[in-house]
Structure 1
Amino acid sequence: MDLSKIKELNPVTGKSKFYKEDVFNLYYRTLCNSNSWDVGLGFFSLSSLKLLAYPLSKFIVKNNGKIRIYCNERISENDFKILSNNDYSLDKLGVFQDLVEMKNALEGKNSGLFSLCISYLIHNNLLELKVLINSNDTRGISHHKNSIFKDNKGNVVVLSGSANASEQAFLFNREDTNAFCSFWKQSFATKNINSTIEEFENTFENGDEDWKILEIKSSELKDKLNEIGFRKIEKDSLENEANKYINKSYRKFSKEIQKEINIELSNLNNEPHFPSFGGKKSEPRPYQKEANSEWIKNEFKGIFAMATGTGKTITSLNCAVEEFKKNKEYSIIITVPTVTLVNQWIDEAKKFNFKSIISTTKSKNWEGELRRVLFNKQHKIGDNHNYVFIATYATFNKAKCQKLIKKISDKNTLLIADEAHNLGAPTSLRNLPHNISKRIGLSATPERIYDDIGSSRLYEFFNSFPPVYTYKFSMREAIDKEFLTPYYYYPYFVNLEHDELEEYLKITRELVKHYDFANDRWKDSATQKLIQRKRIIHKAQNKKECLKQIFEDVKLKNENLKYTFVYVPEGYEANNETIDNAEIEAEDERIINAYSEIINDFGYKTYQFLGETKNRNKILNQFKNGELEVLTAMKALDEGVDIPITKNAIFCASTGNPRQFIQRRGRVLRLHDGKEYANIYDMIVTPNMDSLIHEDADLRDMEIRIFQGELRRVANFLYSSENMMEVINDKIREVADEFNLDVFELINENIENDKIK
């Protein structure tokens, strides 16, 4: 934006008088290079400016421009008396009639862009409009038609002359316009600019000796727009409309401007932008824009604690796009837990039109590619220094990767840590990239289980702390705002077999000495024992009988379990800070075979979806098309799988990790045409209080506290469900009472947590 760079106004090679289409082209250039436009005209209508729709949209979107207009209007003697007494109806003024005509004439056509520009200016208080009125027999105001353009560098251009701001005047009439520019440093031009500005300010504030000035309030304009039917539009939407418009209408301008527009469009096609969905350009959802605003307020650091299914990936990449718009370049580091997620992020980054994507899975020489782009950026070699680097945490933590990451010095480099809790693991904590100042952590559940130190370091790194975080978008809020599907929750309580119970109690007795009763938390020394004991719960034999019961119950209701994910227990949990992909073990294979066989017996077409499954996309497409009805999995469905048609989820696993349940719940709640609700079936292993009668009081107390934690998860699921009270009365209350626990108190914790913003 620089008025002094307009070549037609160059003091040496340019000119000062313009005719016909040259006037139109000059208005194009001045609007594109200014952020203030004062217009003083005679008899005027807004819709007469419709040919300037595209440069006006650039004036708004790129330059944050503001317009002030005054114009004349002759009215009847009677109307003049009414208006002069300030007891007037807006409908009496021609400018409002013009808005109605403009809406009817332009809406739905290419020139509808202009009506959107006017709507945006008015709704954002960027258009001040004053009308000078008098009766029909009064003299007209004797002044030229003037436009005063200003940019943010202090340059001023005045266009003054006989040319009306109308299509007829721009393209057909032999009307002329004179230009006066502050950067000419000529006394006659400076004198004319000063006098024009003074005349405009006086007239805009005070009117003329024979003409009364009416200031049309912004609120009145907005009300009138709403009454007529103009829709309020956001800047991103206006920019999208402008890009669609100019693709069809650029031939209205001179060949030289057409060439410039073609270059703009070519550059635009190569720039990152919010992706298209369903073949149509889209824009961020309101909460995704809000997340970006909160991140900026927090000095470009933060954790987005957003429910699974609400678009955390898109939210973070939108932040990257917004940063590109400001800096005109991008350098992005993305860390993820698994290879599957690397591939998913590559696909998402491409949708946003990011180029130069280097990944540790698809780029064989990723180390060399990253070294080259960092070297070129640091030494300003070449023109294009943009890149996106995507790595698993395991690769990110390796010495050869860390050596390169530590070389990053650009202040605008952005780190996006997907499933950011992984960054709080011991190895990752040693490699936190403090040299990257712009940071986004993504996680539905940022806190690390049994790791207060890791959680604390993570929060400090992102300058984002619970329960508020930088931005929070809960599942309940997402369902209420119709960004996720409502669901019904069906808990099933499972008891341990005798031998399982014996082993469980043996470990529990050992755990008592590792529990801090004063602070109601586990000591660090408890971790291994907790994992051993959880594995017993996780693989409880009675879960298989429970699975049969679930299928029987659904059958009794004359319903089916088509489009179902079944999460079966696994015997091994991978460490994502050091391992990219975990292979299935023999024990895992035996478990998933047993669960799949039960489902097959009910007549469902079932497939085991494992981490090493080949033809993943083919299998998922068969599931989408209904050729496969149920997918059984351990963890392979946790990441990189987005199938909105999925309607049911059965949780047989009991890992004790709330993150896993919350993520899995989110996968089945994605919106899909015809999917009115989802169903979640959850197996919960309950302690046997009879077996604890003869145990130590501390052990019984500890066991109740542990189950309270499990019931807290149940309460979280209940709180967002459609059948909360029915489930409480039918199943939960009796179990809670047995352990002297208040389920409503636990549900209220979720309600209060959601209130914190």
Structure 2
Amino acid sequence: MTVSGNTVGERLDELELPPVIETSETDFIHDFYNPILSRAIEYKRGVGYFTSGWLKNAARGIAGLASNGGKAKWIISPILEEDDWEAFKKGEEGRRNEVIYESLERGIEELEEGLEEDTLNTVAWMIADGLLEIKFAVPDGRNIYGDFHDKWGIVTGIYGGKMAFHGSQNDSQKGFYNYESYDVFCDWACERDAERIRKHEERFDDLWNNEKEDISVYSLPEGVSEDIVQLRETDDAPYDNDRSGGSPMSARDHNITLRDYQQEAVNQWRYNGRHGLFEMATGTGKTYTAIGAMDQTFAKQEHPMVVVIAVPNTHLAFQWRDDLEDWGYDEEVYMIFGSVNTNWKSDMGRVLDDIRIEMQDIAILLTTHDTLSDEHFRSEIQQLNCDRLLIADEVHGSGSEERKKGLLEDYNYRIGLSATPQRYFDEEGTDFLMDYFNGVVYELPLGEAIPEHLTPYEYKPYFVEMTPEELHEYEEISSDLGWMAASDDVEDKVVENMMMERADLIKKAENKYSKLHDILEGIDEPDHLLVYTNDEQIDQAQQILDEHGIFHHKFTQAEKPSERPELLEQFDKGNYDALVAMKCLDEGVDVPSTREAILMSSTGNPKQFIQRRGRVLRHYEGKEKAVIHDIIVVPSLSEDLNPDIKEIEKKILLKELDRFDEFASNADNEIEARNAIETVRTIYEV
């Protein structure tokens, strides 16, 4: 059997693979590994031992995968001698890790002696570039006397298609001389094959995540990984880690290198046809990831390109401008929206004319979501005949009926950025965004980002009751809402207004102010503190900070766009102890020096409270921990609470507890935080 062709970039699902291959008829390297890996973006392989022979043969054909920017994951078995097994049987975890490490170090020495230079160099570079991850499996429990001996692989194609193989062959030198065979499954062949592939990938992933009983899976120790990386023979990677061709435009002068996870996001976006959403926890560097994608795309361009970056508010546009300057893009950046540039229409026309006649090779238009959907802006973009990249920051804000008009099909490259791309109570808008950007291509949840990329934090919830007067009014509104909901004669708008009136009672609850006093009393020396309020609270909150001698400034829409960067700079320097903010700091604004936050006002919208938490968790020099104080209002903490109110409150409280669970689940003091809510859960039976 011969599989013709091994050109990088061809489709995996165009290969004609038989259901069984065997060594008597097939050259496994030339006719099997090379063709499938040269078409792959991911290769998962479980097999064999940590030997030079294993790596030498497993790496055959891997250069094509590396050239695609693809990623390999290998689960292997370390070499363990008889004395090592004796140590394992003792069940001492510390000794086990030591024994495994020593065994792997012996393997490194063999690697250097036994591998061909080009294979060794490729493997070392792939580990250094994050394209190859190795984990090793060690049986324990009832399998402790055995080996990790399974042999299978799963390959995902660049342009679709997935295949798996399972069989007797070890990836060793001798294995290629033995009579061996593979069963081969292709998801484009039939549903039964597709199901087998799902099962094989599921068990690989379970092993990779160490979720299988009687077998332990360990990550490659950092020291061993570094030893392999040091075996590189050249200063340049032996593959082109980008499958797009063409003569590159002039590169920008910058010394910025994306973090591994950011580059992985860029790679996944590229594999997805340069469309996709980055769903990354606030504070993990979505802006730099998007600029990196833009920079790498531009470096491969043969012709001019227009980049449109749309942001929700003006101060975020200035922040993007500063970040672009860090990457060497300064003269190419234009502010194209009315609040800072009343001549934006004429400026836009002039810039795009220069692109058309190739007087410029790139133009970066910084604008707002509202201007993006403006008819004139849309018309100018549609008249271009060059590549157009759209970067929509805080992309959830682009899904409203009016703003969707700005999401033109004319943008052939698209990036959406958000920690929470789902639109609150707007399934249709969410579906539109998912379809337009062709889905989420990379996720980095908060739990995975702490502590390497975000600061650990403590979460301190405070439950406060309404005053008797507020509770009486709350009960009356709730009673009215009860009969209104059951009536067909009451307009929806009336019900909606009543619900807003009741929500306002919670937002402006009087006892929040006494709790703010208590929290401030417990903070010895307020340092880089954010206090989140609403428009009805801000004046009194500022007065309370004055009473505690806390030097602060408000940060709201009332401050001029030119004033806001100065306020943030003074806050960073410690010239202000605190900022009292409303919605202005919810989306995208960098305030990394923040050490504590007090949430006096929050909606039930996950977007808002996740963004607010993100403001606090960014890394900053000397900042080892952040603290979040969250004031949560309940009608009453009395066990004699009106049963009708209790029943109504269950649904409302459950929404509040969504925020509580989200915050508590990743906090350092999770148990303490959860204990704080037990009284509330008991009273309201939730």
* TM-score band w.r.t. shorter chain: 0.5 to 0.7
CA displacement 1:319-357 (0-9 Å, x = unmatched): 111211222443211111111111111222222223422
1:570 matched to 2:535: yes
494 and 461 in structure 1: CA distance in 2 versus 1, 3 angstrom threshold: same
Question: What's 1:610 paired with?
Answer: 556
Considering only aligned residues, what root-mean-square deviation do their CA atoms show, in Å?
4.5
387 and 524 in structure 1: CA distance in 2 versus 1, 3 angstrom threshold: farther
Question: What's 1:339 paired with?
Answer: 314
Q: 1:715 deviation in Å?
A: 0.7
**Which structure 2 residues correspond to residues 152-551 of structure 1 after superposition, within 5 A?**
226=227, 229-230=230-231, 271-272=251-252, 275=254, 281-328=255-302, 329-354=304-329, 355-361=331-337, 362-375=340-353, 377=355, 380-410=356-386, 412-464=387-439, 469-480=440-451, 482-512=452-482, 528-551=497-520
1:619 matched to 2:589: no
Question: What's 1:656 paired with?
Answer: 604
Aligned AA (2:333): I
Aligned AA (2:434): Y
Distance in structure 1 (CA, Å) of the matches to 2:408 and 2:112: 62
Q: 1:423 deviation in Å?
A: 0.8
Match of 1:599 among 535, 545, 549: 545
Distance in structure 1 (CA, Å) of the matches to 2:679 and 2:111: 71
Distance in structure 1 (CA, Å) of the matches to 2:609 and 2:316: 18
363 and 688 in structure 1: CA distance in 2 versus 1, 3 angstrom threshold: same
Q: Which residues of structure 1 form unaligned runs of 5+?
A: 1-60, 65-88, 100-114, 127-221, 241-263, 276-280, 517-522, 572-590, 742-757
Distance in structure 2 (CA, Å) of the matches to 1:606 and 1:661: 22
1:673 matched to 2:609: no
Per the normalisation by structure 2, the TM-score is: 0.61
Secondary structure of the structure 2 residue equivalent to 1:470:
strand
Q: 1:656 deviation in Å?
A: 2.5
Q: 1:385 deviation in Å?
A: 4.0
711 and 122 in structure 1: CA distance in 2 versus 1, 3 angstrom threshold: closer
Q: 1:310 deviation in Å?
A: 0.7
Q: 1:479 deviation in Å?
A: 0.4
CA displacement 1:138-180 (0-9 Å, x = unmatched): xxxxxxxxxxxxxxxxxxxxxxxxxxxxxxxxxxxxxxxxxxx
420 and 234 in structure 1: CA distance in 2 versus 1, 3 angstrom threshold: farther
Q: 1:438 deviation in Å?
A: 2.0
Question: Residues 537 and 654 of structure 1 are in contact (CA less than 8 Å); yes or no, is this contact kept in structure 2?
Answer: no
1:725 matched to 2:674: no
Q: 1:708 deviation in Å?
A: 0.7
Question: Residues 450 and 524 of structure 1 are in contact (CA less than 8 Å); yes or no, is this contact kept in structure 2?
Answer: no
CA displacement 1:524-575 (0-9 Å, x = unmatched): 9965544443222222111110101112233xxxx4321111112225xxxx
Q: 1:717 deviation in Å?
A: 0.2
Identity of aligned residues (%): 33
533 and 672 in structure 1: CA distance in 2 versus 1, 3 angstrom threshold: same
Distance in structure 1 (CA, Å) of the matches to 2:512 and 2:238: 51
Secondary structure of the structure 1 residue equivalent to 2:617:
coil
Question: Residues 90 and 96 of structure 1 are in contact (CA less than 8 Å); yes or no, is this contact kept in structure 2?
Answer: no
Q: 1:383 deviation in Å?
A: 4.4
Question: Residues 119 and 225 of structure 1 are in contact (CA less than 8 Å); yes or no, is this contact kept in structure 2?
Answer: no
Q: 1:602 deviation in Å?
A: 1.9
Q: 1:313 deviation in Å?
A: 0.9
Aligned AA (2:276): G
CA displacement 1:395-454 (0-9 Å, x = unmatched): 2233222322333454x3111111111111121124431222322111111222232222
CA displacement 1:613-646 (0-9 Å, x = unmatched): 3643443333223232122122333356423222
Which is higher, the Rg of structure 1 or of structure 2? 1
Secondary structure of the structure 2 residue equivalent to 1:667:
helix
514 and 312 in structure 1: CA distance in 2 versus 1, 3 angstrom threshold: farther
Aligned AA (1:271): A
The worse-fitting range, judged by mean Cα deviation, of 497-506 and 337-346 is: 497-506
227 and 609 in structure 1: CA distance in 2 versus 1, 3 angstrom threshold: closer
513 and 371 in structure 1: CA distance in 2 versus 1, 3 angstrom threshold: farther
Question: Residues 284 and 453 of structure 2 are in contact (CA less than 8 Å); yes or no, is this contact kept in structure 1?
Answer: yes
Question: Residues 125 and 237 of structure 2 are in contact (CA less than 8 Å); yes or no, is this contact kept in structure 1?
Answer: no
297 and 235 in structure 1: CA distance in 2 versus 1, 3 angstrom threshold: farther
CA displacement 1:92-124 (0-9 Å, x = unmatched): 999999x9xxxxxxxxxxxxxxx9999649989
470 and 701 in structure 1: CA distance in 2 versus 1, 3 angstrom threshold: farther
Question: Residues 450 and 456 of structure 2 are in contact (CA less than 8 Å); yes or no, is this contact kept in structure 1?
Answer: yes
474 and 530 in structure 1: CA distance in 2 versus 1, 3 angstrom threshold: farther
The worse-fitting range, judged by mean Cα deviation, of 400-409 and 454-463 is: 400-409
Aligned AA (1:327): Q
Distance in structure 2 (CA, Å) of the matches to 1:124 and 1:472: 19
Question: Residues 563 and 648 of structure 1 are in contact (CA less than 8 Å); yes or no, is this contact kept in structure 2?
Answer: yes
Secondary structure of the structure 1 residue equivalent to 2:411:
coil
Distance in structure 2 (CA, Å) of the matches to 1:447 and 1:595: 32
Distance in structure 2 (CA, Å) of the matches to 1:224 and 1:651: 43
Secondary structure of the structure 2 residue equivalent to 1:661:
helix
Distance in structure 1 (CA, Å) of the matches to 2:280 and 2:484: 33
538 and 95 in structure 1: CA distance in 2 versus 1, 3 angstrom threshold: same
Q: 1:666 deviation in Å?
A: 0.9
> Which structure dedicates a bigger proportion of its chain to helix?
1
Aligned AA (1:501): L
Distance in structure 2 (CA, Å) of the matches to 1:358 and 1:118: 43
Q: 1:686 deviation in Å?
A: 1.2
Question: Residues 282 and 610 of structure 2 are in contact (CA less than 8 Å); yes or no, is this contact kept in structure 1?
Answer: yes
